């Protein structure tokens, strides 16, 4: 398939500065955790990725273990890059991560220098890249000295295998400590990647303040609560949904009565705003200027196109915000 990128691709996307760095990220970024593995339909994955790029999404987020099978999302991405996107490499911010189980034995998991360096070498090979733009430690590892993990991130940048480094799933205290070590090493933390959505607000309890104080960007993962904060589950659990797929990370027991009630009511607010629930849920995150980008997933081009419409209405009245808080309160209490 011949591909020439849409020449108007930069016309409607919003680009936000990532903390106090020189990098700007699109307000909406695309993650390849689901829908890009060897179990998924390649042409669909390719069309989602190219539609994203055609609409100004310049940032694509991966990790060593995305698939399934683990590693295959990076392979799919590498194939699309080679066949369609290679001429545009310098217009893209590509990230990967290591921190979860990837291969057997003591060196294929967690936070050692051995694991991080080997894993990034493997990721680069799978994607056919010389370097990633951002490399993350995927989760804190209480068994490895933080100094070693941060030294590994610093080393990777000095080796030219990543341009910037990031932290994911570190709480406020862990982030403060890691950031101080990285600053001392001379490789500042560019960005933090936490889970954040209307149903999960842990980052409001300290982490966002730490990021703001240190000039670090924030890209929020699962902004749609893996699909719950969309119209996907308003009536049934569709057969092709993440919740119904055996390899999907969204489990049926996450769909509590409180969530069922809340999404019906939140959907009514979205309708009044002239948005879908997905659009409103993304806009709700982007109203906070500390959020650099929302990191979405999509299983179809249609979903992606819906999510892009978010940018048409990012304003909320105080009344709407209060109502969203009231309706989601029973879920937040769980
Ligand atoms: N750092 C970490 O630890 C971590 C953890 C998780 C994720 N992430 C990153 O964050 C990215 C996004 O995570 P996520 O996939 O959980 O994000 P999400 O945006 O909360 O959920 C994506 C899912 O929501 C549904 N969806 C999306 N747009 C929709 C729309 N307009 N209408 C109806 N349904 C819609 C689709 O579900 P269906 O598949 O059912 O259609 C889609 O697969 C990942 O790809 C990954 O890059 C990072």
Average of per-residue pLDDT values in the chain: 97
For residue 182, being part of any structural domain is answered with yes
63 Cα nearest atom in ligand 1: 47
Ligand 1 close to Cβ of residue 233 (< 6 A): no
**Distance from Cα 30 to the centre of ligand 1, integer Å:** 9
Whether residue 115 has pLDDT greater than 90:
yes
61 Cα nearest atom in ligand 1: 47
Position 3 scores a pLDDT of 97
The token pair at 77 is 């991405």
Phi, psi at residue 312, to the nearest 5°?
-75, -20
Pocket test for ligand 1, best of 303, 308, 310 (most atoms within 8 A of CB): 303
Beta strands 28-31 and 132-137: pairing type?
A: unpaired
> In whole angstroms, what is the distance from residue 52 CA to residue 186 CA?
34
> In whole angstroms, what is the distance from residue 27 CA to residue 174 CA?
26
Give residue 266's pLDDT band: very low, low, confident or very high (50, 70, 90).
very high
What is the share, in percent, of the chain residues with pLDDT greater than 70?
100
For residue 32, being part of any structural domain is answered with yes
Find the domain containing 216 and state its range.
15-227+285-313
**Distance from Cα 332 to the centre of ligand 1, integer Å:** 20
For ligand 1, atom 5: residue with the closest CA? 221
279 Cα nearest atom in ligand 1: 31
**Distance from Cα 297 to the centre of ligand 1, integer Å:** 3
Position 26 scores a pLDDT of 98
**Distance from Cα 159 to the centre of ligand 1, integer Å:** 32
The token pair at 326 is 């009231």
Pocket test for ligand 1, best of 70, 222, 243, 304 (most atoms within 8 A of CB): 222
For ligand 1, atom 14: residue with the closest CA? 222
Beta strands 15-17 and 24-26: pairing type?
A: antiparallel
**Could you read off the pLDDT of 222-265 as tens digits, one per residue?**
999 999 999 999 999 999 999 999 999 999 998 999 999 999 99
**Distance from Cα 103 to the centre of ligand 1, integer Å:** 25
**Distance from Cα 301 to the centre of ligand 1, integer Å:** 13
Region 286-300 average pLDDT: 98
Position 269 scores a pLDDT of 98
For ligand 1, atom 43: residue with the closest CA? 298
For residue 154, being part of any structural domain is answered with yes
For residue 62, being part of any structural domain is answered with yes
Are 175 and 167 a contacting pair, CB within 8 Å?
yes
Ligand 1 close to Cβ of residue 298 (< 6 A): yes
**Could you read off the pLDDT of 164-197 as tens digits, one per residue?**
999 999 999 999 999 999 999 999 999 999 999 9
Give residue 116's pLDDT band: very low, low, confident or very high (50, 70, 90).
very high
**Distance from Cα 169 to the centre of ligand 1, integer Å:** 16
Position 32 scores a pLDDT of 98
- Please state whether 76 falls in left (phi above 0), alpha (psi between -120 and 50) or beta: alpha
Are 154 and 186 a contacting pair, CB within 8 Å?
yes
Q: SS3 letters for the chain? A: CCCCCCCCCCCCCCEEECCCCCCEEECEEEECCCCCCCCCCHHHHHHHHHHHHHCCCCEEECCCCCCCCCCHHHHHHHHHHHHHHHHHHHHCEEEEEECCCCCCCCCCCCCCHHHHHHHHHHHHHHHCCCCEEEEEECCCCCCCCHHHHHHHHHHHHHCCCEEEEEEECCCHHHHHHHHHHHHHHCCCEEEEECECECCECHHHCCHHHHHHHCCCEEEEECCCHHHCCCCCCCCCCCCCCCCCCCCCCCCHHHCCHHHHHHHHHHHHHHHHCCCCHHHHHHHHHHCCCCCCEEEECCCCHHHHHHHHHHHHCCCCCHHHHHHHHHHHHHHHHC
The token pair at 155 is 């080393």
Ligand 1 close to Cβ of residue 279 (< 6 A): no
For residue 260, being part of any structural domain is answered with no
97 Cα nearest atom in ligand 1: 1
Pocket test for ligand 1, best of 60, 93, 281, 297 (most atoms within 8 A of CB): 297
For residue 274, being part of any structural domain is answered with no
Ligand 1 close to Cβ of residue 140 (< 6 A): no
For ligand 1, atom 1: residue with the closest CA? 168
Ligand 1 close to Cβ of residue 223 (< 6 A): yes
For residue 162, being part of any structural domain is answered with yes
Position 1 scores a pLDDT of 85
Q: What is the CATH number of the domain that holds 296?
A: 3.20.20.100
> In whole angstroms, what is the distance from residue 213 CA to residue 84 CA?
40
Q: Which one, of 81, 70, 19, lies nearest residue 45 by Cα? A: 81
For residue 123, being part of any structural domain is answered with yes
Are 142 and 170 a contacting pair, CB within 8 Å?
no
Position 238 scores a pLDDT of 93
Number of domains the chain is built from: 1
Q: Which one, of 271, 275, 259, lies nearest residue 199 by Cα? A: 259
Ligand 1 close to Cβ of residue 227 (< 6 A): yes
């Amino acid at each position: 398939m011949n591909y020439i990128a849409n020449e108007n691709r930069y016309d409607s996307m919003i680009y936000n500065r990532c903390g106090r760095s020189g990098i700007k990220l699109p307000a909406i970024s695309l993650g390849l955790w689901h829908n890009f593995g060897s179990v998924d339909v390649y042409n669909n994955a390719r069309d989602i990725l190219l539609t994203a790029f055609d609409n100004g999404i310049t940032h694509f987020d991966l990790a060593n273990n995305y698939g399934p099978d683990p590693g295959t999302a990076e392979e799919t991405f590498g194939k699309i890059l080679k066949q369609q996107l290679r001429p545009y490499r310098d217009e893209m911010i590509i990230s990967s991560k290591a921190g979860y189980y990837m291969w057997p034995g003591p060196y294929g998991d967690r936070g050692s220098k051995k694991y991080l360096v080997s894993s990034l070498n493997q990721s680069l090979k799978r994607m056919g890249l010389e370097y990633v733009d951002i490399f993350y430690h995927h989760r804190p590892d209480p068994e490895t000295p933080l100094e070693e993990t941060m030294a590994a991130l610093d080393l990777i940048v000095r080796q030219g295998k990543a341009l910037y480094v990031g932290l994911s799933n570190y709480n406020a205290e862990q982030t403060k400590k890691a950031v101080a070590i990285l600053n001392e090493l001379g490789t500042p933390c560019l960005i933090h990647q936490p889970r954040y959505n209307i149903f999960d607000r842990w980052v409001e309890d300290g982490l966002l303040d730490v990021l703001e104080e240190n000039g670090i960007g924030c890209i929020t993962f699962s902004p749609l609560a893996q699909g719950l904060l969309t119209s996907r589950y308003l009536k049934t659990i569709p057969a092709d949904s993440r919740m119904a797929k055996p390899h999907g990370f969204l489990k049926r027991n996450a769909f509590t009565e409180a969530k069922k009630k809340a999404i019906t009511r939140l959907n009514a607010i979205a309708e009044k705003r002239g948005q879908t629930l997905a659009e409103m849920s993304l806009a709700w995150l982007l109203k906070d200027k500390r959020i650099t980008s929302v990191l979405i997933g999509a299983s179809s081009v249609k979903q992606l196109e819906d999510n892009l419409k978010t940018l048409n209405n990012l304003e909320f009245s105080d009344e709407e915000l209060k109502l969203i808080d009231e309706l989601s309160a029973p879920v937040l209490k769980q």
